Amino acid sequence: MQNPLTNLLNQRHYLVNDGAMGTELDRRGVDTNNSLWSALALTSDPDAVQAVHADYFAAGADIATTNTYQATPQGFAQQGIDHQVSSKIITEAVALAR
């Protein structure tokens, strides 16, 4: 199976990555002032996360960076979220980007 990025790069010589998730969530009024930063929005406001991704694609992004910077089982555990639930949240972060 060929890497899909290779196919895109064969069509053109550049790809545009999306921008800062945390900054956009802050701008939209989502609270990121915690140890999980923007990853907390995966549980508190997933619609906002998906909207940020959609807006970056509408602006011309070819590549999405998932909202998982602080989304780790260890980070979620510090917030009282168990490993099974945190794994589900991380999986959902990828679905939101798609």
Q: What is the pLDDT of residue 26?
A: 96
User: What pLDDT is attached to residue 37?
Assistant: 93
Give, to the nearest 10 degrees, the angle between helix 46-58 and helix 83-97: 30
Q: Give, in order, the Cα–Cα distances in Å from 47 to each of 9, 50, 54, 56, 83.
A: 31, 5, 10, 14, 23
Per-residue pLDDT of the chain (98 residues; tens, 9 = 90+): 788 888 888 898 889 999 999 999 999 999 999 899 999 999 999 999 999 999 999 999 999 999 999 899 999 999 999 999 999 999 999 999 99
Residue 61 is predicted with a pLDDT of 95
- Cα separation, 11 vs 2, whole angstroms: 14
Both tokens assigned to 24: 């956009």
Identify the helix (H) or strand (E) that includes residue 90: helix 83-97
Looking at residue 1, its pLDDT comes to 74
